Amino acid sequence: MIRRFSQELPGLLSMAARLLQWKPGDFWSATPEELAMALADPQVAPARPMSRQFIEQLMERERNG
């Protein structure tokens, strides 16, 4: 089932309030990336974006089966 972002908002707002002690204004002024970083596990290294070269390698590998 695909959930819309608007359906996720109450849960995200609740998590930000409980875990981060954010007030509603803090939540609404944060970007989605800021919220994700604030809620991320500090013990886990953040995922690095794939480079163009890596994407091209994956495409070539898929093309060649």
* Containing structural domain, residue 37: 5-63
Per-residue pLDDT at 11 exceeds 80: yes
pTM reported for the whole predicted model: 0.57
Identify the residue whose tokens are 């204004």: 25
Residue 42 is given by DSSP the state T
Q: How far is CA 18 from the centre of its chain?
A: 18
Range picked from 3-12, 19-28, 45-54 for highest mean pLDDT: 19-28
Amino acid at 18: R
* pLDDT for res 49: 80
pLDDT tens-digit map of 24-59: 999 999 998 899 889 888 888 777 788 899 888 888
Q: How far apart are CA 36 and CA 40, in angstroms?
A: 6
Number of domains in the chain: 1
Q: How far is CA 9 from the centre of its chain?
A: 14
Give the model's confidence band at 62: pLDDT under 50 very low, under 70 low, under 90 confident, else very high: confident
